[in-house]
């Protein structure tokens, strides 16, 4: 695992070094000092994040926060933090959705760490393209210069922990970190629930195809509910309540919207 960005990789040379770094971090590709994720992005985790992101299952936010707090507790000397900050949504997207899923993770995490939560300092000034399936180049372009500090806010010499749901290419964390560093932040660290690793995604798709063939040929069916089935059941009631109260109910994306396999890692 890369000691800086947390990306799993295989390199006999890097493993022999005191601080193993992937090729991107050896070239100082990212603006943040360190990033970690609870787990590699997989089907079950994708379903859980979708429930949090589109159906406001706050219990999942608390659960994810507990896992991320556990990551910090294993290496406390590497996580000297002053404030916790969720990655912001554009105001139109947050108005449409009714909440920011990153905030639902960051709030209980800040409480668990006994640190202040700063959710109003960083803002997104440009909305994300409407299409869900973005190439890696499109993702970097979409977030380049898309964040700014709210007028009158300061981050001088602060050590900031950014919290988000998924780290795909690192473009979002990088853009936020770049903005905060330019405004005077001393250190920017990142924590996400899931980390997309393209090579692992391709392997998972291949294995899923084999399992599907086995089921069609008479093998045992898998549990469709998955490990987060409980949260999926209670989400139905929550969505109905929001609809009755006139609150926004954003449509979920299809499963294909979370398929990021095969992306390269060259900066656009």
Using alpha carbons only, what angle is made at residue 17 by residues 41 and 163, rounded to the nearest 5 degrees? Answer: 35
Higher pLDDT, 235 or 126: 126
Establish if 77 belongs to a structural domain. yes
Establish if 73 belongs to a structural domain. yes
Establish if 74 belongs to a structural domain. yes
Token code pair at residue 62: 């608390």
Establish if 197 belongs to a structural domain. yes
Is the confidence at residue 222, as pLDDT, over 50?
A: no
Which pLDDT belongs to residue 148? 95
Is the confidence at residue 232, as pLDDT, over 70?
A: no
Higher pLDDT, 207 or 129: 129
Determine which of 16-30, 108-122, 224-238 has the lowest per-residue pLDDT on average: 224-238
Instruction: State the average pLDDT over residues 130-137.
Output: 63
pTM for the complete prediction? Answer: 0.75
With H, G, I as helix, E, B as strand and everything else as coil, classify residue 224: coil
Q: Are 36 and 109 in contact (CB under 8 A)?
A: no
Neighbour tally for 38: CB within 10 Å:
18
- Sorting pLDDT into bands at 50, 70 and 90, what band is 267? very low
Which pLDDT belongs to residue 229? 55
Is the confidence at residue 230, as pLDDT, over 60?
A: no
The DSSP letter of residue 146 is -
Q: Write out the residue range of the structural domain in which residue 174 sits.
A: 30-215+224-237
For helices 136-143 and 171-182, the axis angle rounded to 10 degrees is 20
Is the confidence at residue 206, as pLDDT, over 60?
A: no
Token code pair at residue 16: 């022999």
Is the confidence at residue 193, as pLDDT, over 90?
A: yes
Number of domains the chain contains: 1
Establish if 252 belongs to a structural domain. no
Higher pLDDT, 140 or 117: 117
Determine which of 157-166, 183-192, 259-268 has the lowest per-residue pLDDT on average: 259-268
CATH number, position 170: 3.40.50.2020
Which pLDDT belongs to residue 21? 87
Which pLDDT belongs to residue 141? 79
Establish if 40 belongs to a structural domain. yes
Mean pLDDT of the chain: 79
Of 39, 41, 34, 61, nearest in space to 117 by CA: 61
Establish if 16 belongs to a structural domain. no
The Cα 244–Cα 205 span in angstroms is 39
Establish if 17 belongs to a structural domain. no
The Cα 143–Cα 122 span in angstroms is 13
């Amino acid at each position: 695992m890369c000691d800086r960005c947390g990306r799993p990789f295989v390199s006999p040379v890097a493993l022999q070094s005191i601080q193993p770094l992937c090729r991107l971090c050896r070239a100082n590709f990212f603006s943040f000092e360190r990033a970690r994720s609870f787990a590699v992005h997989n089907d079950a985790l994708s379903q859980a994040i979708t429930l949090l992101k589109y159906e406001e299952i706050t219990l999942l936010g608390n659960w994810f926060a507990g896992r991320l707090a556990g990551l910090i507790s294993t290496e406390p000397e590497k996580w000297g933090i002053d404030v916790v900050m969720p990655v912001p949504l554009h105001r139109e997207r947050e108005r449409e959705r009714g909440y920011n899923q990153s905030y639902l993770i960051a709030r209980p995490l800040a409480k668990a760490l006994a640190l202040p939560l700063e959710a109003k300092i960083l803002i997104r000034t440009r909305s994300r393209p409407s299409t869900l399936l973005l190439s890696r180049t499109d993702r970097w372009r979409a977030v380049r210069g898309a964040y700014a500090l709210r007028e009158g806010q300061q981050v001088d010499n602060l050590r900031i922990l950014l919290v988000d749901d998924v780290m795909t290419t690192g473009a979002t964390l990088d853009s936020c970190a770049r903005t905060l560093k330019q405004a005077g932040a001393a250190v920017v660290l990142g924590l996400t629930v899931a980390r997309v690793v393209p090579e692992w995604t391709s392997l998972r798709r291949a294995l899923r195809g084999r399992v599907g063939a086995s089921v069609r040929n008479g093998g045992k069916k898998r549990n469709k509910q998955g490990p987060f089935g409980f949260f999926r059941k209670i989400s139905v009631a929550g969505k109905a309540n929001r609809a009755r109260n006139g609150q926004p109910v954003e449509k979920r994306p299809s499963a294909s919207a979370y398929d990021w396999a095969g992306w390269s890692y060259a900066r656009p």
